[in-house]
C-alpha cells in the first residue's frame, strides 16, 4: 500500500519485450515493459489486454490495420484478436500493461521472446 513510481521501476531492468510485474489488482496484474522493434504475432483466446504508453509511440499491428498509440494514450486489445506490437525508427518505447494473472506472454505462439513468469519488481 505504497505509491509505485514508474521511472524508478523502469530503472530496474533493461531487457526488451520482458514485462516486469509492479502490482496486482484483483485477478489482474500491472506490468511494465521496454520494447523496441517487432514482437511476435499472437492472440490471447480468453483475456483482453490493455496497453498504456508511458514513453514514445507504440504501434499495434492488427490483421487489417495498424494503430498508433502515443505517450499518455491507451488501447484495449480484446480477447481472440490477433496482434503484433512494434516500434518504429528503432525507438525504445516504455509501456504499462494490464492483464489477467492467467495470461500467457505470447498467447498460443511459441517464440524465443516468450517469458514464462514475469519478474516482480
Pairing of strands 58-62, 66-69: antiparallel
CB of 51 to a copy of itself, least distance (A): 9
Binding mask 58-97 for a copy of itself (x = CB under 8 A): ----x----xxxx-xxxxxxx--x----------------
The separation between the first and the last C-alpha atoms of the chain, rounded to the nearest angstrom, is 15
d(C-alpha 11, C-alpha 8), whole Å: 5
CB of 24 to a copy of itself, least distance (A): 7
CB of 16 to a copy of itself, least distance (A): 22
| Cβ-proximal residues to 45 (8 Å cutoff; 6+ apart), any chain | 79, 80, 107, 108
Judged by CB under 8 A, how many residues of this single chain contact a copy of itself? 32
d(C-alpha 75, C-alpha 66), whole Å: 12
Of these, 30, 31, 33, 93, which contacts a copy of itself (CB under 8 A)?
A: 30
d(C-alpha 30, C-alpha 11), whole Å: 16
Query: Which residues contact a copy of itself (rule: CB under 8 A)?
Result: 1-7, 23-26, 28, 30, 47-50, 62, 67-70, 72-78, 81, 98, 100
Amino acid at each position: 500500500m505504497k505509491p509505485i513510481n514508474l521511472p524508478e521501476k523502469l530503472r530496474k531492468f533493461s531487457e526488451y519485450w520482458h514485462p516486469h510485474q509492479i502490482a496486482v489488482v484483483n485477478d489482474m496484474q500491472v506490468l511494465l515493459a521496454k520494447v523496441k522493434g517487432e514482437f511476435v504475432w499472437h492472440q490471447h483466446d480468453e483475456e483482453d489486454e490493455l496497453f498504456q504508453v508511458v514513453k514514445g509511440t507504440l504501434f499495434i499491428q492488427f490483421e487489417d490495420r495498424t494503430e498508433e498509440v502515443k505517450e499518455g494514450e491507451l488501447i484495449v486489445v480484446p480477447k481472440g484478436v490477433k496482434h503484433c506490437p512494434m516500434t518504429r525508427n528503432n525507438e525504445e518505447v516504455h509501456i504499462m500493461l494490464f492483464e489477467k494473472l492467467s495470461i500467457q506472454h505470447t498467447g498460443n505462439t511459441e517464440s524465443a521472446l516468450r517469458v514464462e513468469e514475469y519478474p516482480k519488481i
